[in-house]
Structure 1
Amino acid sequence: MDLIVSKKWLLARMYEPDLVIVDCRFELGRPTAGQEAFAQSHIPGAIYLDLEVDLSSPVSTHGGRHPLPDPDVLAKRLSQAGISNNSRIVAYDDQGGMYASRLWWLLRWLGHDSVYVMDEGFSAWKDGGYPITDAQPTIIPASFVPNLRHDMLADMNKVKQSLSNPGVLLVDSRDASRYAGEQEPIDAKAGHIPGAINSFWKQVSDDSGAWKSDQLLSSQFSRLTEAMDKGQEAIIYCGSGVSACPNVLALHKLGYSQVKLYAGSWSDWISYEENPVATGEE
C-alpha cells in the first residue's frame, strides 16, 4: 500500500475501528496555532498531537530545536491518544506534509509500519467539501509498545565520521538560500554541513500541494538513488529534523528504506562549536 493516501481513501475508511486519524497542524513561531486550528475544525474523529509538546523532547544544549522524544514517553503519549500496535494511523497537517511526515517517521522509528500521510492536507479536505467538525473526539486509551529501529537514525558523531567517507551522501532538505548560507532566519549560524547536497523538501509536492508521482520523484532523487543503488549510504537532515521527514518518506515510497535521518540536523550540528560549516554550492 502507498504511504500517501487520498482524501477519498480516508473518507471511505474514517470510521473503521482500527483507524486513528491524527491532526499534526503546527506553525513555527506560533506554538498554539495548531491546537487552536484543531479546536475550530478538524476531520471527524481525529486526535491532535503537537510537534513541540508531543513529538519532541524539551530543548537542551544539544539535540537541535526539536529533539527526538524519549521513545517510552512517546509510546505512553500514543497509548493515551488511543494508538495501539494494531492501529492504522493516518496523519495530516496543513503545511505541505512536513509535520505529518514527522509523526510518520517517529512511528516507523518505534517499529510501527501501518502509518500513512493524507495527501494535500486539511485545507484541501475542507475546500473539497469533505466533513469537518469542532467536536472533541472520545479517546479510549490503548497500549503501544515500542520496538526501536536504531538503523533509521544518525547522530552527530555518525554524521561527523561521514565527512571523510565517500560512501555516505548527506542531503540538506532546507531551501537553497539557507543551504548556501545566504540567509538564516532561525538558527545561529548560516550554511550547511560540508559535502551535503541540497534537495528542498517542498519539491516532493507539485504546485497544487499534492505529492508528486513516483515517476517524478524518481527523476528528482536520481542522484541520490543512483548512489544508494551503488551501495552508498544516505543521511537526510534539515534545520531541526522535521522538514527532512518528507524527503525520507519520498525515498521510502521509492523503495529506499535504508535512508537515515539526522534527527538533530543543522541546529544540533552548529551546537558543537568545533563542527565545520560550508557555504555556497557543492
Structure 2
Amino acid sequence: LAGHIRGALSFPVNLTYKNKKINGKINQPTIIQQYFRSRGITKMSQLIVYDNGEIVDAARLFWVLEVYGLTNIKILDHGFDDWLNKAYPVSFKQAKTTPSQYIATLNHRRLASKFTTQLATRNANQIIIDARDYSAYIGKTSTAKRFGHIPGAIHIAASHNLVTTQGVTSLKPLNELEQLYDSIAKDKKVVIYCSIGRVSSTNYLALRELGYDVSNYDASWNEWGNDDKLPIEK
C-alpha cells in the first residue's frame, strides 16, 4: 500500500493470531497489552479500523479489539484502496503517540472457545453459525482432518454479508443484513466459526451492527475438526 491515512497507527492483522498456521487462536494478552501500550491505546480510545478494502481483516481486528475490552470502534467502509482511488490525502510519516497504561483483560462474552462452543451445541438458547463455504459445511472440503460441521450449526457464509460494486467491497446495508439473519431471534446468543476465526469475523461485524449478542470461536474448525473426541455432522 502507498502510505496510510494521516494519523493512522500500524496494526498488522497477523498480530491478532497466536499461530495462524495452526488455527485462529487470538494472541496472548501480554503481546496485545505491550502493543496497545506502545501505540497509546486505552479502553476509552475511539478507533477507526481499515484494511485494503476486503473488509475481512478489518472485521477480524474489530472483533479482537472488542475481545480486549475496547467499545468505541468503527470500520472504514470500502477501505484504503478506495481512499487512494478517490485521491484523498495520505501520509508516509509514523504517527506520534504517547504510551498508555492499558491493562489487557478478555471479554469472554465476545470470545468463544472449544468448551463454550460444546455447551452451545446443547443449549436451545444459543445458535451456532458456520461461516465457511457451503462445500465445507456439507463435508465436501475441509481444512482439518475431519469433514463436516459442528452439530446443530446453521450455514451463513461470510461472503453473504458483503457486497461488491464496481470493485469496491462493503458490508451490506442494514435492511439486507436484517433479512439475512431474520430467522435468528435477537434474544439468542450467537456463536460463529469458520476455519481460523477470520472470515467469520465478517458475520460477527454484521451481527454486532444488528445488535446481537455474539461471540467468535477463534480456533474454529481447524481445532474442532482435528479433535476426534468432538462430535460432527454432515
What is the TM-score normalised by the length of structure 2?
0.88
Shift of residue 84 of structure 1? 2.4
Pick aligned residue for 1:215 from 168, 171, 175: 175
1:76 has 2:31 as partner: no
> Does residue 138 of structure 2 align to residue 180 of structure 1?
yes
Question: For residue 49 of structure 1, what is the aligned residue in structure 2?
Answer: 11
1:58 to partner: Cα distance: 3.3
Alignment RMSD (CA, Å):
2.1
CA displacement at 1:117 relative to structure 2: 0.9
Q: How far did 1:129 drift?
A: 1.6
Deviations 1:170-225 (Å, cap 9, x if unpaired)?
101112222222223x444332212211111122222221222211111111112x
Gap runs ≥5 in structure 2:
none
Distance in 2, matches of 1:269 and 1:277, equals 9
- Percent same amino acid among aligned pairs? 27
Q: Paired residue for 2:206?
A: 250
Cα deviation, residue 59, structure 1: 6.0
- Check whether the contact 1:110–1:148 (CA below 8 A) recurs between aligned residues: yes
In the TM superposition, residue 239 of structure 1 has moved relative to its aligned partner by: 0.9
TM superposition shift of 1:66: 2.2
CA contact (8 A) 2:68 2:104 kept: yes
User: For the residues of structure 1 that align with 2:53 and 2:170, how far apart are their CA atoms?
Assistant: 12
Query: Is 1:233 aligned to 2:194, yes or no?
Result: no
1:198 aligns with 2:155: yes
Instruction: Flag structure 1 segments of 5+ consecutive residues without an equivalent.
Output: 1-36
Identify which of 103, 124, 129 aligns with 1:145.
103
| Runs of 4+ that moved beyond 6 A | none
Equivalences for residues 1-282 of structure 1 within 5 A = 37=1, 40-52=2-14, 54-58=15-19, 65-94=23-52, 96-184=54-142, 186-208=143-165, 209-224=169-184, 226=185, 228-229=186-187, 232-256=188-212, 258-279=213-234
What displacement does 1:154 show?
A: 2.1
> What is the Cα deviation at residue 268 of structure 1?
1.4
1:47 to partner: Cα distance: 2.2
Deviation at residue 148 of structure 1 after TM alignment: 2.9
TM-score, L = length of structure 1: 0.74
